[in-house]
Structures are given as C-alpha cells and as structure tokens.
Amino acid sequence: MKVRKGDALLVVDIQHDFLPGGSLAVNEADQVIPVLNACIRLFREKHLPVLACRDWHPPDHSSFRENGGPWPPHCIAGTHGAEFSGLLELPNDTPVFSKGTIREKEAYSAFDGTELDAALKKMGIDRLFIGGLTTDYCVKNSVLDAKRRGYESVVLLDATKAVNLSPDDGKNALESMKTAGAMLITREKLE
C-alpha cells in the first residue's frame, strides 16, 4: 500500500506507564516502538503529517482503582510515567492531543474531547494510519471514531499491543475494527 497525499499517521500513547516497568505495563509494548519509528520516517520522507496523542489524566482520575475505575493510576499529567518514550522518534513539531484530562470522564479515543478532528480537516486528511497502545482501548476507540467521522482507517498491526484484561480482548478489538471497515496491515506492506 502506497501512502499518498491525504494520509496522516497517528501515534497513540507511547508513554512510559504503558511500557515495560510502567504502572500499567502492556506485554511486549516496547516492540512497537521501532515499527512506529519506521512509519514516522516514511511519513516524514513523503512530507505527510505525523500526529500523536497521549493519555493525560489528573491525579484523581475516575478510571483509577482508588476511585472505582478498572486501572492502576497511570499517565498522570506532568509525571515521568506520562512522558513519551525517549526511544520514540517523534519530530519536534508533532502536534500532540491530550485525552482523559477531565476527572469524571474516561476518554479512550484520541478524538474524544480533543481538537484532532479539526486538525485533520484543516490539513485535508481523509485517511488515518493508526498504531500504538493499546489495541483494545485507545487504538480501538480511536479507529472506530475515525471511521464514524468519515476517515478511512488503517491499523498498523505490528505497531500495536493489547492490555488483554481478558485473553482475547486484543483479538476481538482487531475483529471489531475490521468489521467497522478499518484496514489491517503490517508495516512492511507500507511504502
């Protein structure tokens, strides 16, 4: 598949807390970073936009266990755990969209409460390539939202890893994205 004008790359939540050693570490999550770096290089070479989102919670977010949510505290705004991995080669001018910033509200999609849609429209984007963490939450919800909003969506299979609270969550998430009309491809298919 050839990337072309109208394409953008969205890098989802490559933050310390989702990586090995983090408070919500996802199995093998570090393996996606070199794949994403290769995608970033490709998009930059073709002068196509690269964007990123991050989980950016207040310290008492409602998704944390102590507040009745399913997760350990993670990605608290301004902390080391919320920073992007230093191994991720994001260009300095990458627009970053923060989500989950309101205490009472969970927001798994990069579109939820952000200016992402407006930014994509302004840049004339009609197809979004999405990779990052996690397959069963932020990637899934961002892909489904992108489709709903009329973008073609392409999931980068080898650039995403699942939390798998239940063992099949990642597999089911990919299935639901496919059913919604998203394309699933590996990075080697991209040129």
Q: Which residues bind ligand VGL (CB under 6 A)?
A: 13, 55, 71, 133-134, 137-138, 163
13 in catalytic set? yes
CB of 18 to Zn ion, least distance (A): 9
The one of ligand VGL, Zn ion, none whose footprint includes residue 8, by CB under 5 to 8 A per kind, is none
Name which position in 17, 55, 136, 145 contacts Zn ion (CB under 5 A): 55
Residues in the chain: 191
The one of ligand VGL, Zn ion, none whose footprint includes residue 14, by CB under 5 to 8 A per kind, is none
CB of 81 to Zn ion, least distance (A): 11
Quick check: 70 and 22 in contact, CB under 8 A? Answer: no
136 in catalytic set? no
140 in catalytic set? no
| Helix residue ranges per DSSP H, 46-168 | 116-122, 140-148
- CB closer to Zn ion, 71 vs 151: 71
Q: Which stretch binds Zn ion (CB under 5 A): 9-17, 51-59, 139-147, 150-158?
A: 51-59
Phi, psi of 138 (to 5 degrees): -70, -35
C-alpha to C-alpha distance for 183 and 83, rounded to whole angstroms: 29
Angle at Cα 99 formed by Cα 95 and Cα 105, nearest 5°? 165
Residue pointed to by tokens 């070199």: 34
What is the DSSP code string of 10-40?
Answer: EEE--BGGGSTTSTTPPTTGGGHHHHHHHHH
CB of 176 to Zn ion, least distance (A): 20
Residues annotated as catalytic (active site), given as ranges: 13, 99, 138
